[in-house]
A and B are shown apart, each in its own frame.
Chain A
Amino acid sequence: AQSVAQPEDQVNVAEGNPLTVKCTYSVSGNPYLFWYVQYPNRGLQFLLKYITGDNLVKGSYGFEAEFNKSQTSFHLKKPSALVSDSALYFCAVRDGYSSASKIIFGSGTRLSIRP
Chain B
Amino acid sequence: EAEVAQSPRYKITEKSQAVAFWCDPISGHATLYWYRQILGQGPELLVQFQDESVVDDSQLPKDRFSAERLKGVDSTLKIQPAELGDSAMYLCASSRGRGDTEAFFGQGTRLTVV
Contact = CB atoms under 8 A, between A and B. Distances in A.
Contacts of B56: 100, 102
Interface residues of A, number: 26
A26 interface: no
A22 interface: no
B83 to A, nearest CB: 23
A70 interface: no
Counting chain B CB atoms within 10 Å of each CB, which of A45, A94, A98 scores highest?
A94
Contact of B99 (A36, A96, A106, A107): A96
B99 A34 contact: no
Q: 3 nearest interchain CB pairs?
A: A43-B105, A105-B42, A99-B99
B107 A42 contact: yes
Given A99-B97, A103-B33, A105-B42, A49 B55 contact: no
A43 B91 contact: yes
Contact of B107 (A32, A43, A108): A43
A74 interface: no
Contacts of A96: 99-100
Given A44-B91, A90-B42, A108-B42, A103 B103 contact: yes
Given A100-B50, A107-B41, A108-B41, A45 B105 contact: yes
Contact of B42 (A34, A42, A101, A107): A107
Interface of B: 4, 6, 33, 35, 40-45, 48, 50, 55-56, 91, 93, 97-100, 102-108, 110
A14 interface: no
Nearest to B4: A43
Contacts of A49: 100, 102
Contact of A43 (B41, B55, B100, B108): B108
B98 to A, nearest CB: 6
Contact of A42 (B99, B103, B108): B108
